[in-house]
Amino acid sequence: MAEIQNQVSNSSSSLKSISIETAAMQAIDYIKQRKEGTIKSLLTPWHKFNYVGLGGLEWHNIITIAGMSGSGKTAILNELETALCELNPQEDMEILSFNFEMLARNLISRKLSKAMTLSTKELHSGFEGQVLEEKDYEKAVKEAKRLANYKISYVDTPGNVEQIEKTILKKYHDMNRGKKEHTGLVVLLDHSLLVKKRKGGQERELLMEIMEMFNSLKKIIKVVFVIASQMNREIEQLERMDNPNMHFPKKRDIFGGDGLYMYSDIVMVTMNPEYMGIIQYGPNSWPVKDRIYWHFLKVREGEPVVAQMRNMLKYNRVEDFVERGTGINMNEITED
């Protein structure tokens, strides 16, 4: 017994525990603050997304958005970061966007495209013999100056998991230095597979490392993570595209799905069936013209659903789709 006691007293790696009494009081305090409105979820620009979440993005959560190329992942994250600032003016928060695929200036061009309802090609005078009109240039300058007031920072230099973690913690500590009430941090990562791997490491191991790091941080700082990830190529097989019963994405279609599923509070797959060449989508022959479908495969505080959205990717946005005044039109789906 003395030997065991010595081992316990000398241990420097024991984990902290809390009593059920403490946990119960924390739960009641959180319920009370939600009830009184002192704690709110962050509103997003999509009513259907807010409907699935607890009124939007909840602090200390991890959201995964998966999709194929052309399904709008980057547009969704880019629209989200701006809208969070516009729709939550009373919330003390900042946004840190890791985008290892595009330059930060190109992300801003996409925001200008959305605001001005011009394609980025039009905005960049990309058509032969067609130059952006002066009045549109002046609009772009005005909109860029407005965007410059938002508390959004970009990291477009690729790094590894450890560097990302240190960058997040430094940003969080810098913006909360000397504050009693902590400023929240929204972290966006687009996309996960562009994070630098360890030498000899595998992509699936990389995803697990990222999610483990996010899960650890969400418990110690006021943060919400939104991560974009890829789909496996099997979903594009002719056998599946020719069979309406196999159109809908499943957990196994998400690259590294096990790790993403384990740690995410919401897992959403964005599908653009028209882009894939599908004429009618799914067993109920849903229309594909100008439509995007958001499949919420995992909803920790709710049920899996699919939401029909309006495809406005030409102008770098996705909108809620409401047909003939039906309001929030959501159809339940069953998770494997």
What is the full per-residue pLDDT of the chain (336 aa) written as tens digits? 555 555 555 556 788 899 999 999 999 999 999 999 888 899 999 999 999 988 999 999 999 999 998 888 989 999 999 999 999 999 999 999 998 777 888 888 888 988 898 888 888 988 877 889 999 999 999 999 999 999 999 998 888 899 999 999 999 999 999 888 889 999 999 866 567 666 666 778 888 889 999 999 999 999 999 999 888 888 888 889 899 999 999 999 998 778 888 999 999 999 999 999 899 999 999 999 999 999 999 998 888 899 999 999 988 889 998 764 444 444 443 343
User: For the domain with range 41-332, which CATH number is right: 3.40.50.300, 3.40.640.10, 3.90.950.20, 3.40.250.10?
Assistant: 3.40.50.300
pLDDT of residue 233: 85
- Sign for the CA dihedral angle at 106, 108, 110, 113 comes to negative
Q: In Å, how far are 70, 77, 140, 177, 320 from 111, measured between CA atoms?
A: 17, 11, 10, 31, 18
Omega cis (within 30) before 124? no
Q: How far is CA 187 from the centre of its chain?
A: 9
Q: Which residues of 90-102 are buried (b: 16+ CB within 10 A; e: fewer)?
A: ebebbbbbbbbee
What is the phi/psi pair of residue 274, to 5°?
-65, -40
Q: What amino acid is encoded at 232 in this protein?
A: N
Instruction: List alpha helices for 266-309, DSSP H.
Output: 273-276
With vertex at residue 153, the alpha carbon angle to CA 95 and CA 61, rounded to the nearest 5 degrees, is: 25
Query: Per-domain residue ranges for the chain?
Result: 41-332
Give the span between the Cα atoms of 277 and 236, in whole angstroms. Answer: 10
Q: What is the pLDDT of residue 224?
A: 97
Q: Is 284 helix (H, G, I), strand (E, B) or coil?
A: coil
Beta carbons of 182 and 222 less than 8 angstroms apart: yes
CA gap 202, 181 in Å, rounded = 40
CB atoms near residue 122 (< 10 Å):
17
The token pair that represents 263 in the structure block: 């740690």
Contacts of 226 (CB under 8 A, 6+ apart): 57, 63, 65, 77, 80, 186, 187, 188, 189
Separation between Cα atoms, residue 84 and residue 313, nearest integer Å: 19
Per the listing, tokens 């599923």 go with 261
DSSP letter (8 states) at residue 308: E
Q: What's the pLDDT at 207? A: 86
